[in-house]
């Protein structure tokens, strides 16, 4: 399928395996989410445009390249997306951060929006939506729809673990949005949890269960 990038870098795979382990502590889990996010930031930003500038090194004048034009906004989906922000900001300190609050209704499994605060100039930025889990794809798709309604056009979606069902749904609803993930898992179970997955990402990040 087009527009889906699964990162098979050994460091990323190693850390994802540690995250999956149910014996990994909240502290370790949080650190791993942050580390994997930082490693993924490197690839997610691979196609950012560059422009040439002239600078002076201690030795000579030089033409050299820096990031051009539009800047980035990181938009974590609350709560679990929060765990990915610090790692991304380590590599992208110039990015602004917006927040979208969505939770999955446990009965309908449909996303419910409860919060939104975006950078003022979000429409002029390249946006990366952050959420560790792409399960049914309902939350991701709703977040993209919401951002598009606000006039944001350049959107990519970054998660740690994706189910085939979520990839298909997000791709069907928003074929223009590239999906970046560290692992594509087998399927969803009857409760729409990813199998084998890593459990409830929000609970594991914040120690709420």
* Under rule CB under 6 A, residue 130 binds ligand PRP: no
Strand partners, 5: 180
d(CA 183, CA 7): 7
DSSP for residue 97: E
Q: Which of 5, 103, 193, 206 binds ligand URA (CB under 6 A)?
A: 193
* Under rule CB under 6 A, residue 33 binds ligand URA: no
d(CA 171, CA 61): 46
Partner touching 194 among ligand URA, ligand PRP, none, CB below 5 to 8 Å by kind: ligand URA
* Under rule CB under 6 A, residue 135 binds ligand URA: yes
Helix (H) or strand (E) holding 86: helix 85-91
- The set of catalytic residues is 104, 108, 200, 203
Cα-only R_g, the chain: 18
d(CA 120, CA 81): 20
Closest separation between CB of residue 22 and ligand URA, Å?
A: 13
* Under rule CB under 6 A, residue 34 binds ligand PRP: no
**Candidates 8-16, 82-90, 175-183, 197-205; binding stretch for ligand URA (CB under 6 A):** 197-205
Contact of 85 with 113, CB cutoff 8 Å: no
Partner touching 77 among ligand PRP, ligand URA, none, CB below 5 to 8 Å by kind: ligand PRP
Contact positions vs ligand URA (CB under 6 A)? 80, 133, 135, 193-194, 197, 200-202
């Amino acid at each position: 399928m087009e527009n889906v990038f699964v990162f098979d870098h050994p460091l990323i795979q190693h850390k994802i395996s540690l995250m999956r382990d149910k014996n990994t502590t909240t502290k370790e889990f949080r650190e791993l989410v942050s580390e994997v996010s930082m490693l993924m930031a490197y690839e997610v930003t691979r196609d950012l445009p560059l422009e040439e500038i002239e600078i002076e090194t201690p030795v000579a004048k030089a033409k050299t390249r820096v990031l051009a034009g539009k800047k980035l906004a990181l938009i974590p989906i609350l709560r679990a997306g929060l765990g990915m922000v610090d790692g991304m900001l380590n590599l992208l300190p110039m990015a602004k951060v917006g927040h979208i609050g969505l939770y999955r209704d446990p009965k309908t499994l449909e996303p419910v929006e409860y919060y939104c605060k975006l950078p003022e100039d979000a429409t002029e930025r390249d946006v990366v939506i952050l959420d560790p889990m792409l399960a049914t794809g309902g939350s991701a798709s709703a977040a993209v729809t919401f951002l598009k309604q606000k006039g944001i056009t350049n959107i990519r979606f970054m998660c740690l673990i994706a189910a085939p069902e979520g990839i298909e749904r997000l791709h069907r609803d928003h074929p223009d949005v590239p999906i970046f993930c560290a692992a594509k898992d087998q399927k969803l179970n009857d409760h729409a949890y990813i199998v084998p997955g890593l459990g409830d990402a929000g609970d594991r990040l914040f120690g709420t269960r």
